[in-house]
Amino acid sequence: MSNRIMQNLPPIYDGIKEMEELSSTVATEFEALEAGQKRVEDEQFIMTASERTIRTRERAYNIRADATTESLDFRRRRLIVRQSTRLPMTQRKVHEIINELIGEGNWEERLSVEACEALFVFDASNNSVDKEIDYTLDRIIPLNIALKIARRLTTKLYIPSFMLSGSEITLHPMNIDDIKQQTASNNLTAMKTATKITLTPM
């Protein structure tokens, strides 16, 4: 029998049944000890901690997580954001916090220095993410800046198009699939369709 303990013993112990069994038991215990040590190390960091440890950390921040609608990954990122929102707060830091929470490319900032206003526009998401966005920005944006938060919705729009033939009008529902506007016409019929629409606040 060969194991990590037996391999480090003098050759004189080779072939001795008692030493083989003893070293095998010790090797198993060492493996269990190392696995336990690895678990302890993982629990020290948010991104590798178990759901149980995440739940304990959430209680420290008075976060009431909903496991039915919030993924473990989102709960981890929310904790990181809560721990990162410390003064002083710069514009770059605000961007880093938002990107950590919802990812890059899912939002935009419209900052007016003259009017001291900041408008943040986000892609509409689930209720938990939207609440966390509102909570985070309300905490980190300076009070001398008027904060406005809006959601944008990208969706498909179904509108009727028409075909005119003599004095008779027939309505045909059209399925809008892209953002391009197309017009096709001839001397007898005409068709005009809109496409995918993104609703943003004015």
Domain ranges, residue 10: 6-43
pTM for this prediction:
0.52
Cα(121)–Cα(151) distance, rounded to whole angstroms? Answer: 5
Percent of the chain clearing pLDDT 70 (strictly above): 74
pLDDT score recorded for residue 165: 47
Task: Flag whether 112 is in a domain.
Answer: yes
Cα(96)–Cα(74) distance, rounded to whole angstroms? Answer: 16
Task: Flag whether 49 is in a domain.
Answer: no
Short-list 198, 201, 202, CA closest to 156: 198
Helix (H, G, I), strand (E, B) or coil at 8: helix
DSSP sequence for 152-171: EEEE--EEEEEEEETTEEEE
For the four alpha carbons of 145, 146, 147 and 151, in that order, the dihedral sign comes to negative
Beta bridge partners of 148: 119
| Structural domains in the chain (count) | 3
Task: Flag whether 118 is in a domain.
Answer: yes
69 and 35 in a common domain: no
Placement of tokens 């075909």 in the chain: 163
pLDDT < 50 regions, the chain:
164-171, 176-195, 202
pLDDT score recorded for residue 173: 53
20 and 95 in a common domain: no
